C-alpha cells in the first residue's frame, strides 16, 4: 500500500511528524511518498498537485495530511477514492480556502486534533467529523502535535493496522 503525506503551510515534506509516521508506515510494509508543496502557498493549488500525483496510482493508497495538508488531502479525496484518509489538525473551514464543505469519496476518514490548538480550533474538526460521520480523536496538545507525538503515533499505527487488515 502506498501512503501519500501532505505537509502543512509552515512545514516541509519531511518534517518531524511526517518522518515519525513514515517510519511506522514503512515498518508496516507500506511505501511512502511525501509531496513537496513548499513552492505553493495556495491550498487549492496544493490539492491539485496531490491530485496530479495520485490520479494514476494503480493500487490502493492512503492520504495523510497535517494542518493545511489535511485540507489538501481531504480536498483531493473528493476527486479520487483513497482506501483511507488520516488527518492531523486539518485546516478545515478556514477563511480564504475555496472548499468550505467537504464531500470525500472515501468512507474511511480519521482525524486527530488537539484540544489546545491555537491555530485551527478543535471545533472545526468536530464539525467535520459530525457532518461526515467519521472518527475523531481529541487529544492533549497544541497545533503542531509535537508534544503529543506518541499519542499521534499510536493512533496512526492502529489506523494503519486496521486499514491493512492486521
**C-alpha cell recorded at residue 93:** 473551514
- Give residue-wise pLDDT tens across range 116-161: 999 999 999 999 999 999 999 999 999 999 999 999 999 999 999 9
pTM assigned to the model: 0.97
d(CA 138, CA 33): 27
* Domains with residue ranges and CATH for the chain: 2-164 (3.40.50.1820)
Helical residues (DSSP H) of the chain, grouped into ranges: 16-27, 43-54, 68-76, 122-132, 149-164
Tally Cβ neighbours within 10 Å of residue 86: 28
- Give residue-wise pLDDT tens across range 68-83: 999 999 999 999 999 9
Pick from 154, 164, 165: nearest CA to 62: 164
Amino acid at each position: 500500500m502506498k501512503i501519500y503525506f501532505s505537509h502543512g503551510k509552515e512545514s516541509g515534506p519531511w518534517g518531524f511528524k511526517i518522518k515519525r509516521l513514515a517510519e511506522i508506515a514503512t515498518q508496516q510494509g507500506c511505501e511512502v511518498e511525501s509531496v513537496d508543496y513548499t513552492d505553493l502557498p495556495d491550498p487549492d493549488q496544493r490539492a491539485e498537485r496531490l491530485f496530479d500525483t495520485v490520479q494514476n496510482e494503480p493500487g490502493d493508497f492512503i492520504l495523510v495530511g497535517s494542518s493545511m495538508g489535511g485540507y489538501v488531502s481531504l480536498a483531493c479525496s473528493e476527486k479520487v477514492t483513497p482506501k483511507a484518509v488520516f488527518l492531523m489538525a486539518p485546516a478545515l473551514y478556514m477563511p480564504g480556502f475555496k472548499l468550505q464543505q467537504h464531500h470525500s469519496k472515501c468512507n474511511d476518514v480519521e482525524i486527530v486534533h488537539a484540544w489546545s490548538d491555537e491555530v485551527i480550533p478543535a471545533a472545526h474538526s468536530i464539525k467535520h467529523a459530525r457532518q461526515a460521520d467519521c472518527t475523531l480523536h481529541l487529544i492533549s496538545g497544541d497545533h503542531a502535535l509535537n508534544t503529543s507525538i506518541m499519542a499521534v503515533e499510536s493512533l496512526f499505527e492502529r489506523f494503519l493496522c486496521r486499514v491493512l487488515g492486521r
